[in-house]
Amino acid sequence: MSDDLRHECGVALLRLRGGAARDRGFQKAALMLEKQHNRGQDGAGLACLHLNPPQGRPCYDLEKSAAPLPLADLVARCGRRRAEDPEAFRGELFLGHLRYATFGRHDLAACHPFVRDSAFLDRLLLLAGNFNLTDTRDLAAGLAATGHHLPSLADGAVILQCLAHALERERARPEGFRGLAHVLREAASRFDGAFVLCGALGDGTAFALRDAHGIRPAFWWEGPEAVAVASERPAIQAAFDVPTEAVREVPPGQALIIRPDGSAALEPCLDPAPRRACVFERVYFSRANDAEIHAERKRLGHALAPQILRAVGGDLGRLFLSYIPNSAQVCFHGLLETLMGVAAAEGRTVRFGQVAVKDAKFRTFIADEAARKDLAMHVYDVTYGLVRPGDTLVVLDDSIVRGNTMRAAILPILDRLSPREIVVASSAPPVLYPDCYGIDMATLDELVAFNALEDLLRESGREGLLRTAHAEAKTQLTRPAEAQTNVLRALYAEVPRAALAEAIARRLRPEGMRAGLRVVFQTVADLRRCCPRHAGDWYFTGDYPTPGGNRVANRALVNHLEHRHERAY
């Protein structure tokens, strides 16, 4: 993806069993985190729980890092602890986390795992997760009404306190403790949002709970030596050398409960809901070394081929095909296979290669704006000698969100190759709606598609529709979340998708660009066909899986039109 889109976190839960060597746990947990490093580069944390710890020694070890390379720093910190203390990070249960700073918090306190300490082992709680809730303030108000004081309203702090409160209530039942599934059900049934919650109690009980819609991914495996949970299947496969079919999804609404004796079982916790697994995981977030994701991304490339052929007028002889590194590469292979098949049937060939090359990131403190802008353009470089003057250059990206990098860096450098036209193809539909389930996209200000929509309405003299939508959104916000409708959907319905794509192209076009420019988007219908088990496409359709999504969309519209640049939840 050309845009810097902060997204989902990664979790890793590991319980050694069957007498597995305690020394191996740290290496396995670290490997599971390393194989998910794409899911978080702003923070990392690892906790190690010791079963039956001796009196006078903590039952867990914990290290976190918010350093520039947090995972490497975390592993080094843990290594130093292990060198100094023969028992440090040599336990039976590990809980790790990789963090993206969704709303810009980079401090150590925001890194998982979070801890709710207690001298009672069955009340001590460790928590790490991949989550974003839309109703955090409502949950905090409910806790305050029961006498709690929360020093932070961040999602993690509120979720930790909700779980701790439910745990205390369950432990206090005169009839006796019914099990951790009851605790999770009481706390999480009120959560509106997306979540995978992984945690452990001091007595050795561990859990992984997935939201009822299955929005966020979670996978698990059990074998004689361990039980493992991770956000991505290949992380478990790499750590334990097991085949794809051995690693299963944690079913939506269910919790994997690992008991102190190491036995594990799935237990239902949340009421069944329609499956709305996030499709962006398949387009971009998760790595394509997952067998299913690899196949889906190739299908996305195949599906784009007819639009590409129409865009170039069927003239394969003047076409050069490329992609924006690196996550669009597998989709590019699918597109290339299809176009090569078309060309072979006509006795022709397709020219292709990697034209855009992403250099290492750099930062500059040059005060002069013009000089800084010129340097920023060179985050990308090009391979010279592949594209002929007069060619139609097709470059595939996995999605277009803000368009800043495309406009400021990629298109200017590609234009130097003197193509007749550049066609930017997106493997995903245009991103029209804000997100509130884990991605840093909670405002409309920077969505290039919404900016293009405003352009079209103003150019056609229908700016009044924005004022009408603003008033309606404010009315909607006076209602409970479950009674609100998404006002943005009616606005987008006012413009044809072809016109919107043309307006987006005008927005992306940098000043002074010589080549023609067109933008081609995947259709929602083809996206659904290529990723049939992942119906969480609210980014593109506005069909949010929980009531809080509509509330966020309406608040984002009001904030934008009132020039309030703040998060919508």
Instruction: Assign 265 a pLDDT band (cuts: 50, 70, 90).
Output: very high
Asked if residue 474 is part of any domain, the answer here is no
Instruction: Report the SS3 class of residue 306.
Output: helix
Which of 245, 275, 305 lies at the terminal end of a domain, its last residue?
A: 275
Asked if residue 332 is part of any domain, the answer here is yes
211 and 341 within one domain: no
Helical ranges in 119-213 per DSSP H: 136-145, 155-171, 180-188
% of the chain with per-residue pLDDT over 90: 83
Rounded mean pLDDT, 437-443:
78
221 and 335 within one domain: no
Into how many domains does the chain fold? 2
Mean pLDDT of the chain: 92
Check: CB of residue 358 under 8 Å from CB of residue 344: no
- pLDDT at position 378 is 64
Q: What is the pTM of this model?
A: 0.92
| Longest Cα separation, the chain | 81
Tens of pLDDT, residues 170-228: 999 999 999 999 999 999 999 999 999 999 999 999 999 999 999 999 999 999 999 99
396 and 259 within one domain: no
Domain that holds residue 393: 288-460+496-545
Which of 216, 248, 275 lies at the terminal end of a domain, its last residue?
A: 275
169 and 261 within one domain: yes
- pLDDT at position 271 is 96
Residue 367 in this model has a pLDDT that exceeds 50: no
Which of 275, 307, 333 lies at the terminal end of a domain, its last residue?
A: 275
Asked if residue 550 is part of any domain, the answer here is no
294 and 197 within one domain: no
Rounded mean pLDDT, 350-365:
74
Residue appearing with tokens 């709710």: 116
Instruction: Assign 366 a pLDDT band (cuts: 50, 70, 90).
Output: very low
Instruction: Give dist(CA 442, CA 448) in Å, integer.
Output: 14
Q: Quote the distance between the C-alpha of residue 398 and its chain's center.
A: 14
Count Cβ atoms within 10 A of the Cβ of residue 363 and give its class: 0-12 exposed, 13-18 middle, 19 or more buried.
exposed
Neighbour count for residue 371 (Cβ, 10 Å):
11
Which CATH number goes with the domain that contains 153?
3.60.20.10
Tens of pLDDT, residues 470-487: 999 999 999 999 999 999
167 and 22 within one domain: yes
Instruction: Assign 442 a pLDDT band (cuts: 50, 70, 90).
Output: confident
263 and 344 within one domain: no
Residue 2 in this model has a pLDDT that exceeds 90: no
Q: What are the helix and strand counts (H, E) for the chain? A: 19, 20
Residue 374 in this model has a pLDDT that exceeds 60: no
Neighbour count for residue 456 (Cβ, 10 Å):
17
Instruction: Assign 278 a pLDDT band (cuts: 50, 70, 90).
Output: very high
Which CATH number goes with the domain that contains 537?
3.40.50.2020
- Residue 381 sits at the vertex; the CA angle it makes with 40 and 503, to the nearest 5 degrees, is 80
Asked if residue 477 is part of any domain, the answer here is no
245 and 124 within one domain: yes
Q: Which of 162-171, 358-367, 532-541 has the lowest mean pLDDT?
A: 358-367
190 and 325 within one domain: no
Higher-pLDDT residue of 196, 103? 196
399 and 517 within one domain: yes
Asked if residue 67 is part of any domain, the answer here is yes
441 and 319 within one domain: yes
Asked if residue 557 is part of any domain, the answer here is no
Instruction: Give dist(CA 210, CA 218) in Å, integer.
Output: 7
Rounded mean pLDDT, 151-162:
91
Higher-pLDDT residue of 245, 357? 245
249 and 319 within one domain: no
Asked if residue 18 is part of any domain, the answer here is yes
Q: Which residues contact 361 (CB under 8 A, 6 or more apart)?
A: 379
Asked if residue 564 is part of any domain, the answer here is no
